Amino acid sequence: MSVIVNIPNQANPLFNKLEFKAIWNPATGLYDFNTALNTGVKILDFQNSAPVLLASFTIGADINGEIFTDSIQVVPSLTFKYEKKNTNVYHRPLTVPQLTDNRELMVWCASDEDDDRLLVDFRGVLKQVPETVGNDEIRMFCAIDGYEVDATWFDENYKTPLSRMAGQASRGQLG
């Protein structure tokens, strides 16, 4: 199922490539992504309170998909959050039980705080399986696609009483 959203021609496309690392811990036998290195990774700086549509994301790794799935001990997840507001974009982390290509997000976010940033935390634990023996680390790659739009256009098309009641209850407050 797809969500169709009309994006204005003057929208600024956004594309971010992120990398997350888990270092092998021989004492536990695990690759742990729950580190400071994978916490508060910047996705974007909000500019002029312009709303941003996070449209989709892709997750890859330096191991193949079957090995990734077989090695999951704690399902990896992404938590999108505002730095200054200190709140999450989604109420719960977005789980990543498998490598994925072009998974839809379709969430609007904006901040009226000066110099606010959109951040992401990557969490999860992988166990060592025969195919990862000898790997000192496992790297995950995340590409996030989105659009920055004019605030006036957004207000005219999306900021209605209904969207404030329904959308903000499940997706968080906007501007």
User: Which DSSP state fits 88?
Assistant: B
Window from 22-26, 111-115, 131-135 with minimum mean pLDDT:
111-115
Task: Kindly tell me the sign of the dihedral angle through the C-alpha atoms of 173, 33, 61, 13.
Answer: positive
Give the distance from CA 14 to its chain's centroid: 13
Over residues 122-172, the pLDDT tens digits come to 999 999 999 999 999 999 999 999 998 877 777 776 666 545 444 444 444
Domains of the chain, residue spans: 12-169
12-169 fold: Jelly Rolls (2.60.120)
pTM value is: 0.83
- Mean pLDDT across the stretch 56-84? 95
Q: pLDDT band at residue 39, thresholds of 50, 70 and 90? A: very high
> Can you say whether residue 109 is alpha, beta or left, with left for phi > 0 and alpha for psi between -120 and 50 degrees?
beta
More confident residue, 132 or 11: 132
